[in-house]
Structure 1
Amino acid sequence: MFSTGFFMYVFVSSFTPGPNNMMSMHNASKFGFVRTVRFVLGAASGFFLISLLCGLFNVVLRQYLPSITGVMNALGCLYMLFLAYAIAISKPGREGETRELNSFRAGVALQFLNAKGILYALSAISTFVMPFDDSWRTLLLTALILGGTAVLSAGSWALFGGIFSRFLGKYHRPFQAVMALMLVYGAISVYL
């Protein structure tokens, strides 16, 4: 039912740097892997919902995509810039400043402003699924695959952040600067 191309696209799109992965790594470096699991699960749950919505409304969105793309890109870029700012100014040991960014709710909310994630889900479904099967079962299975892959990718980045937390804590300013710059690049790359 699903092609090798579909799985390759899903893997590459999920594991490359993006808001979910950057926030997962940042949160784990600051709060630890175990305390970041709730964010990872929230991001995956939100991405499952986004994927399901993309599948259900793909035909309508495809018709209006040119006008929606600019708004989604702008909102996504602004949110990524906000995350970059929050990471850049956070201080070690002062968890309250970014604790709200390490919650299940923040993980879910991020998906609704994540231009990369929305465009990824739209393109995966419209390119690899809808032309071959648009049944409810297939759309649900696709959303489950995309949500499951989000757990694996964000979880991997969080694990990396948790394993290297001492190193990252010692070099928190350069690490935060790199993470913030990667998010800024992510925001700019939407327009490249």
Structure 2
Amino acid sequence: MLAFVIFTITMSITPGPNTIMAMASGQTIGFKKSLNLNWGMATGMFVTGAFAAIFSSWLQNTPLVIEIMKLIGCLYLLYLAYHTAISVPDDTNNGSSTFNTGFLLQLSNIKLYLYFITGLGAFSLSGLLNQIPLRLLLMVAIGSAGTFLWTVGGQLINKFYHQHFRIINVLVACLLIFSAADLWH
């Protein structure tokens, strides 16, 4: 049980496409206006987790599907990197903090698929957490808490961000590009 909890918390708070977007949204438009993005991520996380639970053995045995998912995820991350790089503070019309953005990001997030395939299949748990639906809900709750935490972190550095937004946006865009490149390693 402890290994499972450590795994889910670590995967949920370490940088990845969703945490980077959550932080950037918190910096740019604040926590309240970022809630749609976060709820989209939570919903996308649940759908992705359910998909991974149902098709995990098939996904593990079909490398072509994984490669296609990597390509889609890579292109989407590059799209988000571009929009992050050109955004300005309080630019709510850039489309990067919407429910749909959060949802689609999760559907193309390879780290998230690995999170669920590993968390749902690699740990032997006892009691209620041995049931996949309950484990899925716990993983979504912990994963969503991670993105909310990063959004709060972005909000906390908001003043600094507004003074140095161009540099920070470029750095965040570079992290998204790195995430896209890292899909292929």
So what's the TM-score if we normalise by structure 1? 0.88
Q: Give the match's secondary structure for 1:166.
A: helix
1:122 correspondence with 2:139: no
What is the aligned counterpart of 1:150 among 143, 167, 181? 143
Residue of structure 1 aligned with 2:102, choices 90, 100, 107: 107
Mapping 1:170-181, distance limit 5 Å: 170-181=163-174
- Structure 2: how far apart are the matches of 1:23 and 1:182? 10
For the pair 1:73 / 2:66, whether they are aligned, the reply is: no
Identity of aligned residues (%): 27
Q: Point out the more displaced range, 105-114 or 169-178.
A: 105-114
Post-superposition shift, 1:92? Answer: 2.9
Aligned to 2:58: 60
2:4 partner letter:
F
Q: Tell me which moved more, 53-62 or 10-19.
A: 53-62
User: Does the 8 Å contact 1:84/1:183 carry over to 2?
Assistant: yes
For the 8 Å contact 2:29–2:90, the answer to whether it is kept is no
Following TM superposition, by how much is the alpha carbon of 1:93 offset from its aligned partner in structure 2, in angstroms?
Answer: 4.1
Q: Which runs of 4+ in 1 moved over 6 A?
A: none
| Structure 2: runs of 5 or more not aligned | none
> Deviations 1:92-134 (Å, cap 9, x if unpaired)?
34331x2x221222211211111211222122222125xx68x
**2:84 maps to which residue?**
87
Q: Counterpart amino acid of 2:107?
A: F
Answer yes or no: is 1:20 the counterpart of 2:15.
no
Instruction: Establish whether residue 169 from structure 1 lines up as the match of residue 166 from structure 2.
Output: no
- Shift in Å, 1:140: 1.0
Match of 2:49 in 1: 51
Aligned mates of 2:164, 2:116 — CA distance in 1: 35
Tell me the number of residue pairs that the alignment of Structure 1 and Structure 2 aligns.
184
Residues in 2 aligned to 1:105 and 1:188: alpha-carbon distance in whole angstroms: 23
Structure 1 CA distance for aligned equivalents of residues 88 and 56 of structure 2: 42
TM-score of the superposed pair, with normalisation by structure 2: 0.91
Q: Which residue of 2 aligns with 1:40?
A: 38
Gaps of 5+ in 1: none
Alignment deviations for residues 53-78 of structure 1 (CA, whole Å, 9 cap, x no partner) = 111222322332x2222111111111
CA distance in 2, matches of 1:107, 1:42: 4
Which whole-Å CA distance do the structure 1 matches of 2:59 and 2:110 have between them? Answer: 14
Q: Verify the 8 A CA contact 1:77 1:188 in the aligned structure 2.
A: yes
CA RMSD of aligned residues (A): 2.0
Cα distance in 2, alignment partners of residues 166 and 87 from structure 1: 18
Report the 3-state secondary structure (helix = DSSP H, G, I; strand = E; otherwise coil) of the residue aligned with 1:191. Answer: coil
Contact 1:46-1:108 at 8 Å conserved across structures? yes
